[in-house]
Amino acid sequence: MTHNGQFATKVTLGSTGLSVSRLGLGSSYAAPTAAYREAFERGVNYFYWGSRRRDFMGDALRELAPQHRDKLIVVVQSYARFGWMMKRSLESALKNLKLSYADVLLLGWHNSAPGARLLDAAMDLVGRGLVRHIALSGHHRPMFPTLLDDPRYGIWHVRYNAVHCGAEREVFSCLDGRGVGERPGVVTYTSTRWGHLCDPERMPPGERTPSGTDCYRFALSDPRVNVAIAGPKSLAEMRQALDTLTAGPLSDEEGAWMRRVGAHIYGRDSTTRLRDGV
């Protein structure tokens, strides 16, 4: 994949063939409904109906879907470990959003490959037309390369930011040399590292504090990343996230600065290695 100097152009999400915005949005935060509508008008179409299914995003999707369903990529997450629970979670989400199908069913937080029964149940939902593609998220990075040649997983959701860069060597590197249609799409989350990368009190001496825009640009500057998920809490944070679309990739100097800040936070946080090792 090559960049055209900005992130406003949609890309193909790996072997799924879905055309997606470089910025995605999560439902767990409190940006107002108008902010999600504004994001859609700016070209954002990857909507992650995730851990907390809040009506700020839900209202926007219910308003947009009747006229724009074919332009929306709706991702429904389920943490269920049993097929019947996963089906119930999906059906509840679809009923809530007044949709007949989800573009993506995300099997959430798996640190080893999902069991055969759960995956079979997920594929049954695909066969019934309730879901188009299956995605997988997890914090144990070495799991992902073991699933590279399993076509059932069309999308990987991976934690990646300037503090936790291990995905570059443990996940992204296995995609090198593969064409878009021969690899899963990659979506990253926790770009601000729970806000730590934007906290002035956590900065190394003499370094400026990154903005949310900088954090999303960091994730998307790796050419193997298709989408970075943002979780704005306000209209102002939404607009800062949307600035990513026109800002484009980090320069080499900016990338080095982000890595210095990330390394400093990594070394100063006593919980980092625990968080990084799971």
**What per-residue confidence (pLDDT) applies to 278?**
37
Domains parsed from the chain with CATH numbers: 11-277 (3.20.20.100)
* For residue 13, pLDDT beyond 90: yes
* Residue listed under structure tokens 């998307």: 220
Sign, Cα dihedral of 91, 141, 197, 4: negative
Confidence tier at 2 by pLDDT (50, 70, 90) = very low
pLDDT digit string (tens) for 51-69? 677 789 999 999 999 999 9
Residue 99: HSE in the Cβ half-sphere, 13 Å Cα cutoff: 33
- The answer to whether residue 276 scores a pLDDT higher than 80 is no
Q: What pLDDT is attached to residue 1?
A: 38
Taken in order 118, 119, 125, 131, the sign of the CA dihedral is positive
